[in-house]
Amino acid sequence: MTRLVLVRHGEAQSYVNGIIGGPQGCTGLSDLGRRQALALRDRLARTGDLADASAVYTSTLARAIETAEIINPAIGGHVLTSTCELCELHVDERLDGRPFEEFSAGYEWPPTVNPYAPWAEGAEPWAEFVLRVGRELDRLARAHAGETIVVVCHGGVIGAALSVFAELPLRQPFRLHIANSSMTEWALEPDIRGVDRWTLRRFNDAAHLES
């Protein structure tokens, strides 16, 4: 069985400031975000839940890397591998670092409303994003067959992964709640016919924020 644990970053400072958090706009976690990541670290250290992790991946955005650095000591202290394939929906310089409200009139939001069009000028369409995320997670699952891997990433990535693994329609007829520092876990194993299938083991487990 291959375990893929997707962790959403803690609250970002760019979110607090109402700024689009691309490579320029993202300046890492807020104080609350760091506390959320610490709560996850303490939980993982206590339960040993991800003690068998063999690799930790992150996006290249500061809020994901910082989250991974905080939880890493509790899951084995791995060398972090960062890749832009795991970033949130890409934005170019027309959007990155700009206030959300500047653009809110021109948005088609959420991006699943029309998956084939950019939700704003300079944004990655949802369908391209789902393909990018699906390709990367599939690659990681193959490269780490039989292992447990942790991917510290973004709400969009976790939602896209649900679309990929459960083969859901791109125009998602539902909404998702994905808390900062929450864990969503998938497992890949053969079914009784020997065909590899994904199993959702938990979605948005943020119990460490409740207590």
Partner 1 sequence: MPAVITRLVLVRHGEAECNVAKRFGGPLGCSGLSDNGREQVTKLRARLERTGELRHATVLYASTLPRAVETAEIINGALGLDLNTDERLCELHPGDADNMTFADYSTTFYAEGSAKWREDPSIPTAPGGESWTGFMCRVKDALHDVTDQHAGETIVIACHGGVIDTSMLELLGMSGGYVPARFVTENSSLTEWTRHRDRWRLVRYNDAAHLHL
> Which residues make up the interface to partner 1 (CB under 8 A)?
43, 46-47, 49, 162, 165-169, 172-177, 191, 197-208, 210-211
Please, which residue, 16 or 207, has the CB nearer to partner 1? 207
CB closer to partner 1 out of 27 and 204 = 204
What is the nearest approach in angstroms of partner 1 to the Cβ of residue 202?
A: 5
Torsion of Cα atoms, 169 then 139 then 12 then 209, to 10°: 80
Q: How many whole angstroms separate alpha carbon 127 and alpha carbon 119? A: 11
Using alpha carbons, list the distances in angstroms from residue 194 to 37, 188, 189, 190, 197: 38, 12, 9, 5, 9
- 49 vs 124, beta carbon nearer partner 1: 49
Instruction: For the CB of residue 207, give the shortest distance to partner 1 in the complex, in Å.
Output: 3
- As measured in angstroms, the least distance from the Cβ of 51 to partner 1 is 12
69-73's contacts with Cβ under 8 Å and 24+ in sequence apart are 70/10, 70/34, 70/37, 70/38, 70/40, 70/41, 71/7, 71/37, 71/40, 71/41, 71/44, 71/150, 71/152, 73/41, 73/45
* Residue 49: CB minimum distance to partner 1, A: 6
Q: Which residue, 20 or 188, is less far from partner 1 as judged by CB?
A: 188
Minimum CB separation of residue 160 from partner 1 in Å reads: 14
Please say which residue, 94 or 142, places its beta carbon nearer to partner 1. Answer: 142
